[in-house]
A = this chain, B = another copy of it.
Amino acid sequence: MTIPIASVPNGTVTSAKGFSAGGIFAGIKTPGVDKKDIGLLYSERACAVAGTFSQNSVISPTVTLDKERVGVDKKVHAVVVNSGCANTAVGEQGMIDAKEMTDITAAHLGVTSAHTLVSSTGVIGVEIPMALMREYIPQIKVSEDGGGEFAKAILTTDKRTKEIAVSFDVDGVTHTVGGVSKGSGMIHPNMATMLAYVATDADVEPGYLQKVLSESVKLSFNQIDVDGDQSTNDTVLLLANGAAGGSTISGGDEASAAFEAAVLQVCQYLAIEIARDGEGGTKLIEVTVNSAHTEEDALKASRSCAASMLVKTAVYGRDPNWGRIFMAVGKSEIPLDESKIDCYINDIQIVAEGKAISYNVQSVVSALAGDEVRLRVDLNVGSASGVAWGCDLTEEYVVFNSAYTT
């Protein structure tokens, strides 16, 4: 029997038991209404932790430090995150500052630095203003309803926070998985991606926890694109503190299946919200590739399409230009038989067996005018599917990124 997954109203990263969080404005970013630029996430109970990180050859020392600490010791208590400055490409000072940020945080929360993780996001090539860190981190108050503050503190060019929580019951014990993410530019598939923090009160075996996170990231954060560019600071952390009081989850049973489904649901929601909030974007584009030879093919082809500038501009212009969809699927170089491809826009078929069919153009143009556009390509050569998400490409993206130092 499948255990149902329920949505948690106003869910956020602190919806899981035993997690508290908070945020503060220290002046790293320019001031604004309700702006924050340092956030803390804390669990009194030690957490098993899994992480996936940027594959960029240039990475922030915060990523290097987190990778070490996630690898060595899976009993983490805290994560400190600042926005406005990426602490990347600043020489040796970067690692010194990243470590000091965890020292300050650990002292403030009464834990050890080795059990504290750190992320930074913002402008590359500028040193972290440590004087602000020393002054403001100790002032951050964490609380069980502080998830929203934390969600605000990690934003950069995002227009809104990205928060969710879901829950499932095992033997009368409610387990919750909550998460937050940020990201709007430098977003591209095939990475280990932007900033996202997922927290659960489930008691999870550490090796299995990493497996669940990696699989979920593959089907969520690694399938979104805003602009083809990959950040130097991408980080997804999954913390499990066991505060729900349930049995250990380690794979292979119904509770594990529910846990996997819950983590995937949280990751996909947070990933889709990043695509929807893409810089300059006016609509979410969901690309589904069905009946491919392998899941890898379907995932690759769908993200190639979601990442195509010509598909993005066609959707923006409400142009049912399926030639561009074919081009974008084909450039992924997956095996296919062109004469078998069917293509749909918001469930309206426009291509059958590789050729244009008669359809009501106005209805497709109307579909393309909505807030969400669903492109579907049925390859009809196998049985595997994949989905990817992106946003349209608009003049605003160009104006924003040619006028702004990020």
The answer to whether A229 touches B308, judged by C-beta atoms less than 8 angstroms apart, is yes
A309 to B279: give the CA distance in the assembly, Å. Answer: 12
Judged by DSSP, the binding face of A is loop
Q: Produce 1/0 per residue, A289-312, CB < 8 A to B.
A: 000000000000000000111100
A255 to B381: give the CA distance in the assembly, Å. Answer: 50
In-complex Cβ contact of A323 among B124, B191, B314, B328 (8 A): B124
Please, which residues of chain B bring their CB within 8 A of the CB of A397? 309, 313, 398
In-complex Cβ contact of A353 among B58, B91, B335, B351 (8 A): B91
Known pairs A316-B402, A401-B310; A327 contacts B55 (CB<8 A)? no
Known pairs A88-B323, A326-B58, A353-B91; A309 contacts B125 (CB<8 A)? no
Residue of B nearest to A280 (CB): B398
Taking the nearest CB of chain B, how far is it from the CB of A66, in angstroms? 17
Please, which residues of chain B bring their CB within 8 A of the CB of A308? 228-229
Please, which residues of chain B bring their CB within 8 A of the CB of A56? 327, 330-331, 333
Determine whether A215 belongs to the interface, using a CB cutoff of 8 Å to chain B.
Answer: no
A404 to B191: give the CA distance in the assembly, Å. Answer: 32
A314 to B330: give the CA distance in the assembly, Å. Answer: 30
A227 to B355: give the CA distance in the assembly, Å. Answer: 25
Known pairs A89-B326, A326-B232, A329-B58; A401 contacts B309 (CB<8 A)? yes
A124 to B397: give the CA distance in the assembly, Å. Answer: 27
Determine whether A86 belongs to the interface, using a CB cutoff of 8 Å to chain B.
Answer: yes
In-complex Cβ contact of A86 among B323, B333, B398, B399 (8 A): B323
Taking the nearest CB of chain B, how far is it from the CB of A237, in angstroms? 21
Taking the nearest CB of chain B, how far is it from the CB of A96, in angstroms? 13
A317 to B402: give the CA distance in the assembly, Å. Answer: 4
In-complex Cβ contact of A354 among B91, B314, B327, B331 (8 A): B91
Determine whether A92 belongs to the interface, using a CB cutoff of 8 Å to chain B.
Answer: yes
Please, which residues of chain B bring their CB within 8 A of the CB of A393? 398, 402
Please, which residues of chain B bring their CB within 8 A of the CB of A59? 330
A317 to B328: give the CA distance in the assembly, Å. Answer: 28
Determine whether A403 belongs to the interface, using a CB cutoff of 8 Å to chain B.
Answer: yes
Taking the nearest CB of chain B, how far is it from the CB of A232, in angstroms? 5
A260 to B124: give the CA distance in the assembly, Å. Answer: 42
Determine whether A360 belongs to the interface, using a CB cutoff of 8 Å to chain B.
Answer: no
The answer to whether A125 touches B322, judged by C-beta atoms less than 8 angstroms apart, is yes
Please, which residues of chain B bring their CB within 8 A of the CB of A319? 402-405
Known pairs A323-B123, A355-B90; A330 contacts B402 (CB<8 A)? no
Determine whether A57 belongs to the interface, using a CB cutoff of 8 Å to chain B.
Answer: yes
Taking the nearest CB of chain B, how far is it from the CB of A206, in angstroms? 27
Please, which residues of chain B bring their CB within 8 A of the CB of A333? 55-57
Determine whether A5 belongs to the interface, using a CB cutoff of 8 Å to chain B.
Answer: no
Name 7 interchain pairs, CB-CB below 8 A, sorted by A: A58-B327, A185-B310, A313-B397, A321-B406, A395-B395, A395-B399, A398-B398
